[in-house]
Every structure is written in structure tokens, then in C-alpha cells.
Chain A
């Protein structure tokens, strides 16, 4: 059972466009994280959000945790080819024993 569903699964855009990736669940999470993975590498943590409604910005990336702590979004402004990669959300549940549940992933390609 996949607890975290991401959409879209694939996204191909031109440099300079904006985009939003969604991570949705019917479960409540104590925290939610976003990772980026490049080909042949392991995922690398981008951000952790821990408070319902929290918004964090990392340069051109904006991350939001839903008020009910069941969903999150990643918005990229003026995408660049260097943003290309697989974006994964991951949630941790209270009493979950330090385990992360990963989303299905969004493959982003930014072309010149």
C-alpha cells in the first residue's frame, strides 16, 4: 500500500517555466521531507517541514506542508536544467520508529 501519492509522475518543461509537484496522503505525518535524486545517485535531502501550514523557501524552491499534515507541495520558480531529477517526498509518522515512507516520485526534465 503506497501511503504517499505524488503527481504528476512525469513533467517535461522549458527553462524559465514554473511548476508545482504534489504529495498527497490520507495519513497524518509528524514531518514531511523532500529529496532530489539524480541518475546513478542516492536521494539527497532538500528540506524538512514539521508544522502544519509551514512554508519553507530554498532559493527558487518553495515547500509547503498542508494544514492537516496530510499533504505537501513543491513549487519551482523559473526552472533551470540543473533542476532536472527525480523528486521524492517522504513522511514520518508519530510513533513510526524513525521510519520514512516515500512517495511514488516525480521525474522532472527541464530543457533549454
Chain B
């Protein structure tokens, strides 16, 4: 059981380039999330999805787009990368039965450097 898988694990981009980060989960979870992690700031939510075909903005959505065409996949796109987007990106998924707390399962992260 792979859980949450992110690709790639590392990437270096030049300012202005575009790329897509891929996230796949095999737990049949409805909810998926993209976070970025920067020193001293914990994890900040970029975008999230409550189900196939739906997406919503999180805390820091500017400069990013997402798509969830299939339940198991959640894609994060950077159309024109900027140095401020240098960060470690984490994908997560969750399953929250009614009346129970949301518990997130994370991928291993993608370390992105924009030069």
C-alpha cells in the first residue's frame, strides 16, 4: 500500500518556467490538499479538493493552479515560477467520516528551487 506518492522529489526551475507537481493516493480518500512548508512557518495550505472535479483556494493560492480530474490524483501547477515559490511542497489526503476528526496522510514532499 503506497499511500500518498508525489513526483518529482526534487526540481530546479528557472524564473518564469512552468511545471506540474503530481500527487497520487491509493486510499480512496475524498479530500486532497497541497501545502507548502517554509522554515518557521509550519505548513500553509495552497489549494484543496473535497472530491473529484472540485477545487478550492487555501491560505496562499496566488501563483498556483490545481486540478482533480480523477479521485486519486491531485495536480499542482506553477505557470510562471518565481523565486518566492522556492519551498518544499507536500500533498496530503484525508478521509473524514461524519462526526470524526480529519486526519491527514502526507506524501514525502517535493523540494523545489526557483533560480
Contact = CB atoms under 8 A, between A and B. Distances in A.
A105 interface: yes
Interface stretch (A40-48, A55-63, A70-78): A40-48
The DSSP consensus for interface residues of chain B is strand
Interface in A65-112: 88, 90, 92, 97-105
Contacts of A6: 42
Given A6-B42, A42-B4, A43-B106, 16 more contacts: A4-B42, A9-B40, A43-B90, A44-B106, A45-B103, A45-B105, A48-B103, A50-B101, A90-B43, A90-B104, A98-B94, A98-B96, A99-B45, A102-B35, A102-B42, A104-B42
Given A33-B103, A104-B42, A99 B109 contact: no
Contacts, number: 66
Interface of B: 4, 31, 33, 35, 40-45, 48, 50, 56, 58, 90, 92, 94, 96, 101-109
